[in-house]
């Protein structure tokens, strides 16, 4: 018989698999099934910034400006971002997310929501209450 830690390992491995399936569903819905974790992280960084320029994004991500330019050009082709000139200084370009880019930036959040929805649909009220109570104890 399996010990508790091994059982927990398998349970959490299964939960992570379900979350990854949910992430893949979101990526496919956006027409971007090959999106990488790193690309999602960059989109999330852009989303978290109010006004992000190429230079600022290079600084935040510790990349060179040419690397950022290549990445943004790729995101433009993927229809995740667009460039917007600063109205006060036309030399400055802001990087803005499209709706698709915003959805990809928040894909981890959406994937967790989908996973929770699957859990709610699989468990009765008592089981959900118990699961919630147990998980709240984890620190």
What pLDDT is attached to residue 54?
A: 94
pLDDT digit string (tens) for 32-90?
988 988 999 999 999 999 889 999 999 999 999 999 999 999 999 999 999 999 999 88
Domain boundaries, the chain: 9-137
Between 1 and 18, whose confidence is greater?
Answer: 18
pLDDT, tens digit (0-9, with 9 covering 90-100), for 130-139: 999 999 998 8
Question: pTM of the full predicted structure?
Answer: 0.76
Residue 126: predicted pLDDT: 95
* Torsion 48-51-52-55 (CA) sign: negative
Please determine, for residue 103, whether its predicted confidence score (pLDDT) is greater than 90. yes
Please provide the average confidence, as pLDDT, over all residues in the chain: 92
Residue 2 has pLDDT above 80, yes or no: no
Provide the pLDDT confidence category of residue 124 given band limits of 50, 70 and 90.
very high
- Averaged pLDDT for residues 12-30: 90
DSSP the chain: ---HHHHHHHHHHHHHHHHHHHHHHHHHHTT-TT--HHHHHHHHHHHH-SS-BHHHHHHHHT--HHHHHHHHHHHHHTTSEEEEE-SS-TT-EEEEE-HHHHHHHTHHHHHHHHHHHHHHHHS-HHHHHHHHHHHHH--
Question: What is the rounded distance in angstroms from the CA atom of residue 123 to the CA atom of residue 136?
Answer: 17
CA pair distance 44, 48, nearest whole angstrom: 6
Q: Which CATH code of 3.40.50.300, 3.30.70.20, 1.20.1250.20, 1.10.10.10 fits the domain covering 9-137?
A: 1.10.10.10
Say which residue the tokens 């398998």 belong to: 10
Q: Which pLDDT belongs to residue 1?
A: 58
Q: Which residues contact 94 (CB under 8 A, 6 or more apart)?
A: 51, 52, 53, 83, 84, 85, 86
Question: Rounded distance, CA 123 to CA 131, Å?
Answer: 9
What share of the chain in percent tops pLDDT 70?
A: 99
């Amino acid at each position: 018989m399996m010990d508790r830690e091994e059982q927990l390992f398998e349970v959490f491995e299964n939960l992570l698999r379900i979350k990854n399936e949910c992430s893949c569903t979101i990526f496919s819905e956006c027409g971007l099934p090959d999106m990488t974790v790193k690309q999602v992280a960059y989109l999330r960084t852009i989303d978290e910034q109010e006004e992000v320029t190429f230079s600022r994004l290079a600084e935040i991500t510790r990349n060179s400006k040419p690397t950022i330019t290549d990445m943004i050009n790729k995101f433009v082709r993927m229809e995740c971002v667009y460039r917007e000139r600063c109205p006060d200084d036309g030399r400055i370009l802001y990087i803005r997310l499209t709706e698709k880019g915003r959805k990809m930036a928040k894909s981890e959040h959406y994937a967790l929501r989908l996973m929770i929805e699957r859990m709610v649909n699989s468990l009765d009220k008592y089981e959900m209450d118990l699961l919630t109570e147990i998980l709240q104890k984890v620190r």
